[in-house]
Structure 1
Amino acid sequence: MVMQLVAPRLMLMGGGSVAKLAEVLAQLGLSRPLVVTDPFMVSSGMVERALSPLRAAGLSFAVFSDTVPDPTDTVIEAGVAVLKSGSYDCLVGFGGGSPMDTAKAMAILAAAPPGTHIRAFKVPAAANTGAVPVICVPTTAGTGSEATRFTVITDTTSDEKMLIAGLGALPLAAVVDHELTFSLPARITADTGIDSLTHALEAFVSKRANAVSDDYARSAMRLIAPNLRRVWADPADATAREAMMRGATLAGLAFSNASVALVHGMSRPVGAHFHVPHGLSNAMLLPAVTAFGLEEGRARYAEAARVMGVATEQEGDQSAAQRLVEELRALNHDLQVPTPAGWGIDADKWNGLLPTMAQQALASGSPGNNPRVPDADQIVALYREAYGR
């Protein structure tokens, strides 16, 4: 079996590694970065963790901080204008998934002919070219964007969260420093943590999984499952924070090489239409979607349960798979994950958008990777189940 595998050329991991950002750029022959981040990273001073080593090394850099929680086509266009206005030789995405995804999309769009809209690159198109390399520095243990060939951008004309995939979205390097996550609020810690668990689980059950993506996924689940509740309960638990950060990156490598499945396909429209943070919308859907695929994917889900430590090695597949669903429901309860109803989404608006969301989910292609592939009516039913009362 021939497997195609992609990963960043260089990955620096460990506490304090962000201090070596300038050294990473030097290794790659880069010296004029445009740092892409968000307003909070600037106002809180967190971005100085990346800028200080650049300044100390005497590098010429600038900051683009007009990113938004769900990156939009308009923000990408504004970022490309800034990129083209200077002589930058790389982009540094510093922050959560949004700044990193913004930097990736900026590189892709900047390489396209003038007047091109970013929607030209949504799947099934292949976005294999970037104008400049991207270096990612994640500040959450969740999206795994620092290790993936994907970016997700909202089309403001249709409120569609577009999946964009290709080598142009693959970072050249990543600096993964768990010490950047110590100050995360509990809600973000929980949502990004479940996001990373979803990445690992979906990569593992994906129809596009391979032996190497399985290795990444298993390692990620072993790290994330026992540590997610620990970082929720004690944000200063350095050992758990490090495990979560490493797990999130490994989960990113897993789904970058195996793709995600139905949870992500359904999650993107929820985020686009109701502005629910991506990790939270994944968490809202994960138990119901896992239960939906249990029959067809039982052996895989059972193995995942054993890897996560929620089922024993001696337990049969049917029991182990059911334990996985029970654990995902318990995790949502323990981490206080609200339902869409509990989050405040109006029932009439939710129900009115279900046909549109189902079609957008299917159009992303991700549901086709699920062990059990749904039709539009089944997706609508799952949305209704997840909504809550």
Structure 2
Amino acid sequence: MASPIALPRIMRIGGGAVAEIGEVVTGLGLTRPLVVTDSFLVGTGAAEQMIKTLESAGLSPRLFADTVPDPTTDSLDAGVAAIAEHDCDSVIGFGGGSPMDTAKALGILGRQGGQMRDYKAPRNNVGPALPVIAVPTTAGSGSETTQFTVITDSASNEKMLCPGLAFLPIAAVIDYELTVSMPPRLTADTGVDALTHAIEAYVSKKANPFADSLALVAIGTIGRVLRRAYTDGSDAEAREQMMLAATQAGIAFSNSSVALVHGMSRPIGAHFHVAHGLSNAMLFPAVTAFSVRAAESRYADCARALGVATTGDDDATAADNLVDALRELCRDVAVPTPKAYGIDNARWDELIPLMAEQALASGSPNNNPLVPTDAEIRDLYAQIYG
């Protein structure tokens, strides 16, 4: 059976690539982009520089900087209005996962209208949508290469997965120099997010050889350099390698899928406002331990790629080494438990049934090597609390 593979049409990768954004947009025949970013990049001057670069290329950009962490349906309204007011023909997502998710959502709403809940899984969205150009400033989400966006429904608090080619950026400009100022906590959270993408892509029931090759390379790179980037943010080589690995992991899971970690992570983010990468990291070792016996050889491959097992180790030993290595990595980069993060125990327990229901409804757990029951997901939530 053939595997459907989809990538951005154009990718510019390397230090200083962001200076070529005007050339990329012009080359696509676009002239009136909405630059979707956040207040942080406005404060650093990066957003202003982006606008100047676009204007110097003869383009007519408009800035929209009102994105919020873990974007909500309510947060999209002003962006949709900005697209209409400026008569935008494209959207540039400039920032971390939240600005890029916002840009992707605005791309489809700006062309088709309606509400984001109209576009959530299991619907497969093929367009039409305004073309999106993605410029990531973190090394983690991989959103610059994926055919997904995640938006929280302001009415129900459901973190909705919205899939389909309509959300795949037409172009991605990937410049590791934009990540050098990331603080250690964000470096860790986004880095573990990228590792989760790569491992889940490889063990997913939708895995394929194209995605496998990228996933294994990304796993190896992250294993070598994430701690370096976390310890010393000025380590340019580590930053460059992490940026490329995050993109490779994004391509991998976009063309295979994520699984149980992501299914369980989204409700944590929605209800407790935990950053996506961090909620993944909270879950990653426990969910891997739960799943590992169902795909021992695949997890063993991940362990060998990560450098925590050799070809001389049998698959069971290698897979167990992977679980131990993930626990050690999360300790090394100071991943807190939900309890240590400050989440109230009673509120956590109260929401476990709803979070389990929402995790299953997302569809991601069905891609896991071991498909969990509702009771097993509840038990995993209880285990990780701390």
TM-score bracket for this pair, using the shorter chain length: over 0.9
Residue 232 to residue 57, structure 1, CA distance change in 2 (3 Å): same
Residues 19, 49 of structure 1: 8 Å contact kept: no
1:24 corresponds in structure 2 to 24
- Specify the alignment match of 2:51 in structure 1: 51
Q: Which amino acid aligns with 1:276?
A: V
Shift of 1:78: 2.0
Gaps (5+ residues) in structure 1? none
Verify the 8 A CA contact 2:150 2:160 in the aligned structure 1: yes
Question: What secondary structure, in the 3-state scheme, does the structure 2 residue paired with 1:296 have?
Answer: helix
- Opposite residue 254 of structure 2, the aligned amino acid is S
What is the letter of the counterpart of residue 83 of structure 2?
L
Query: What is the CA-CA distance between 1:308 and the residue it aligns to?
Result: 1.1
- What is the rounded CA distance, in whole Å, between the counterparts of 1:372 and 1:32 in structure 2? 47
What are the equivalent positions in structure 2 for 1:114-263 lying under 5 Å apart? 116-263=114-261
Measured after TM superposition, the shift of residue 111 of structure 1 is 2.5
When the two structures are superposed, what TM-score results if normalisation uses the length of structure 2?
Answer: 0.99
Instruction: Give the distance between the partners of 1:40 and 1:21, measured in 2 at CA.
Output: 20
Per-residue Cα deviation, 1:144-169 (whole angstroms, up to 9, x for no partner) = 00000000000011111000000110
Ranges in structure 2 where 5+ consecutive residues have no aligned partner: none
Distance 2:385 2:46 in 1: 36
Q: Structure 2: which amino acid aligns with 1:122?
A: K
Residue 14 (1) aligns with residue 14 (2): yes
With normalisation by structure 1, the TM-score equals: 0.98
SS of residue matched to 1:11: strand
Contact 2:62–2:86 (Cα < 8 Å) also in 1: no
Measure how far apart 1:324 and its partner are: 0.3
Counterparts of 1:351-362 in structure 2, within 5 Å, are 351-362=349-360
User: Which shifted more, 70-79 or 252-261?
Assistant: 70-79
Structure 2 residue 103 is the aligned partner of structure 1 residue 107: no
Q: CA deviation at 1:170?
A: 0.3
Partner of 1:387: 385
- Select which of 342, 348, 351 maps to 1:350: 348
Query: Match of 2:36?
Result: 36
Percent identity between the two aligned chains: 57
In 2, Cα distance between the equivalents of 1:31 and 1:243?
A: 33
- The aligned counterpart of 1:89 is 89
Determine the C-alpha separation between the residues in 1 that align with 2:341 and 2:20: 40
Compute the displacement of 1:46 (Å): 2.2
| SS of structure 1 residue aligned to 2:151 | strand
- Paired with 1:251 and 1:52, the residues of 2 have a C-alpha distance of 31
Partner of 1:280: 278
Residue 293 of structure 1 corresponds to which residue in structure 2? 291
Query: What amino acid is aligned across from residue 66 of structure 2 in structure 1?
Result: D
Residues 1:61 and 2:61 aligned together: yes
Query: Structure 2: how far apart are the matches of 1:224 and 1:258?
Result: 19
Instruction: Report if the CA contact (8 A) 1:142-1:195 is conserved.
Output: yes
Greater Cα offset, 311-320 or 343-352: 311-320
Task: Give, as a single letter, the amino acid of the residue that structure 2 aligns with 1:80.
Answer: V
- Measure the CA separation in 2 of the matches of 1:61 and 1:46: 14
Contact 1:110 1:130 in 2 (8 A): no
Q: How many angstroms apart in 2 are the aligned matches of 1:61 and 1:50?
A: 9
Q: Aligned runs of 1:66-77 on 2, under 5 Å?
A: 66-77=66-77
Higher mean displacement: 31-40 or 92-101: 31-40
Q: How many residues align?
A: 386
- Shift of residue 28, structure 1, vs aligned partner: 1.0
Q: CA deviation at 1:49?
A: 4.1
The structure 1 segments of at least 4 consecutive aligned residues displaced by more than 4 Å after TM superposition are: none
Amino acid at match of 1:88: C
RMSD: 0.9
Mapped partners of 1:356, 1:156: distance in 2: 16
